[in-house]
Chains A and B, each alone.
Chain A
Amino acid sequence: MSLLKIDGICKSFGGLKAVDNISFEVKEGNIHALIGPNGAGKTTLVNMISGIYSVDSGEIYFNDEKITNVPTHKLVNKHIMRTFQNLEICENMTVMENILLGFNINMNKSLLKCSFQFESILDDEEKFTHIALSHLKRVGIEEHAYSLCSDLSYGILKKVEIVRALAINPKLLLLDEPVAGLNGTETAEIAVIIKEIAAQGVTVLLIEHDMKMIMNISDNITVVNFGVKLAEGIPSEIASNPEVIKAYLGEGSLHE
């Protein structure tokens, strides 16, 4: 069953066509990778899916429901969450506060109740703090729960962003270069986390450049270049696809 369906979407910036008539489907429960050289249009695509950019033409379906041009914050209600290539973390807040933000849609937020510290607000805080701590434990960073994010390393913050996205048990998780800038150990840790997430039923759409990790954990791969879909298939098919090799390594490599 395809959870996410992209149907012929296009996006231009000025005269430049960043995404040109791309279509693909992401099956429920899969880890679906979106790869391609820098500037291929991957992030633009994900930004369109998650409502950050508007779609020029084409449609996006989630669970057979049209979600084209639905703004980001409304997609959260449908349990679509994402992480960002450029790390959108609240630096002046603690890790715990960032994670608690992940629970936002499940929390009581009325200003009146908050001002007067109603029981329901305090109960929520306790409940979600507990859940947050267990999540942080699973990814191994619970010791930093009350540290200020501006004091923490990039690798830890990448994990924080993932935990924040997982807080409400999303159905679809969009990960935009979750291991960019991380070393080998950190990358392996994230790869394990992603596999565990998928094992629990979360559908993952993953943009990445790290080929080893992609080949290792993906169920399906879509390759894009210059805004156009180049190829699609399971890892072994993609690895031996001449067009893909050409796109990444250049014309010459085919003749080696």
Chain B
Amino acid sequence: MKNKGLFLDRGIVTTIVILCVVPFILQNSFHYEIAIMCMLNAVICIGLNMLVGYTGQISLGHGAFAGLGAYVAVILSTTYEFDPVISILVASVVLAVIAYFISKPILKLEGHYLAMGTLAVGIIISIVLTNEDQLTGGPDGMGVSGFHILGYVFESDIQWYVLSALLLVFSIWALQNVVNSPFGRILRCIRDSETAAKAIGADVPYYKTYVFVISVVIATVAGSLYSYYTGYISPEESGFMRSIELIVMIVFGGLGRIYGAVIGAIIITALPQFLTFLHDYEHMVFGAIIIFVMIFMPKGLVSIFDTLQVKKKKEITKDNS
């Protein structure tokens, strides 16, 4: 266990170092946009991973919640001129309540049924967002107000970069703490055996709802920030493909692993940008990559580090003998 603790702290230090170094590689606004998108997606994925990876509840509708949350915040601050931070807070509360009530019947489902149920909820939300154009600007989306915290305005790329980076590091740190804590253990227990969880006194529906709500709130915050950053929001951000994208990120990176969620988010966000030279072949290649990883690295990319660790351990024991 102690060994594991060291590795995790190393992970955070490494992350911080990388985050400090990256701005020197970014050359223009577009690069910054990708980096910020990666980080905010990583935050959403960390939350989603808590639900899917650690508690074992598949959600194929998370994009819709992220999008809905962002819309609430953005509409409040743009159309009704609320303070942006207040808007995000209100949006979080609203989404928490919605998520709470949806979770009660939905999380009674299991496996494929849960997958389809969350999918259905997500699609319904995204259809509503597309159709209620009075409020949301419809399929063309709407422009978004500026963002400031207590008067400090966030305008430049580097400001957003730092904000996103701070959020990411905090999310990683907090979730790491949770995973190894009694709360996190209960979540993982639910994933492995709900009966065992009951048998040790955990109110399973309570925890499932708790995690669902938390992951929705995280998605709301990160999703809202992204819209404030780009100055724009559209229903596509709440669409089915967005939900799928998020799930692909966490599975691709490594389900049930914090850094898996982070790595998966970064690669899936950044990869299409590197594939643009392929123009129309982009989707084909993207699909092919997903297929390849799911067949040959089902535990996700993070499993590469596992095999390296095992090799290292073998070397150490060899040296000792």
Contact = CB atoms under 8 A, between A and B. Distances in A.
Within 8 Å by CB, do A and B touch in the complex? yes
Contacts of A114: 177-178, 181-184
A183 interface: no
A88 B198 CA distance: 10
Contacts of B256: 92
Nearest to A145: B1
A72 B192 contact: no
Contacts of B185: 93, 97, 100-101
Contacts of A125: 181
Contacts, number: 98
B189 interface: yes
Interface stretch (A11-19, A103-111, A247-255): A103-111
Q: How large is the interface on B (under 10, 10 to 19, 20 to 34, 35 or more residues)?
A: 20 to 34
Contacts of B204: 73
Interface in A50-87: 50-52, 71-74, 76-77, 81-82, 84
Contacts of B189: 90, 93, 101
Given A93-B189, A100-B185, A146-B1, A72 B178 contact: no
A121 interface: yes
Given A73-B202, A101-B185, A90 B196 contact: yes
A117 B196 CA distance: 25
Interface in B160-184: 174-175, 177-178, 181-184
Interface string B181-202: 1111110110111011111111
Nearest to B174: A115
A76 B197 CA distance: 11
A73 B195 contact: no
Contacts of B182: 100, 104, 107-109, 114, 121, 124
Given A77-B201, A146-B1, A91 B181 contact: no
Contact of B177 (A76, A93, A108, A116): A116
A241 B137 CA distance: 82
Contact of B195 (A76, A77, A88, A124): A88
B186 A109 contact: yes
Contacts of A71: 198
B100 interface: no
Contacts of B196: 84, 88-90, 101
Contacts of B198: 51-52, 71-73
A84 B178 contact: no
B193 A115 contact: no
Given A93-B188, A114-B183, A146-B1, A72 B193 contact: no
B232 to A, nearest CB: 32
Instruction: Identify which of B188, B193, B197, B210 gathers the most chain A CB atoms within 10 Å of its CB.
Output: B193
B233 interface: no
Interface in B186-244: 186, 188-189, 191-193, 195-204, 210, 214
Given A93-B189, A101-B186, A146-B1, 10 more contacts: A73-B200, A76-B200, A88-B193, A89-B192, A93-B185, A93-B188, A100-B182, A104-B202, A114-B178, A164-B200
10 contacts: A73-B200, A84-B195, A88-B195, A90-B189, A90-B196, A92-B191, A93-B188, A101-B197, A102-B200, A114-B177
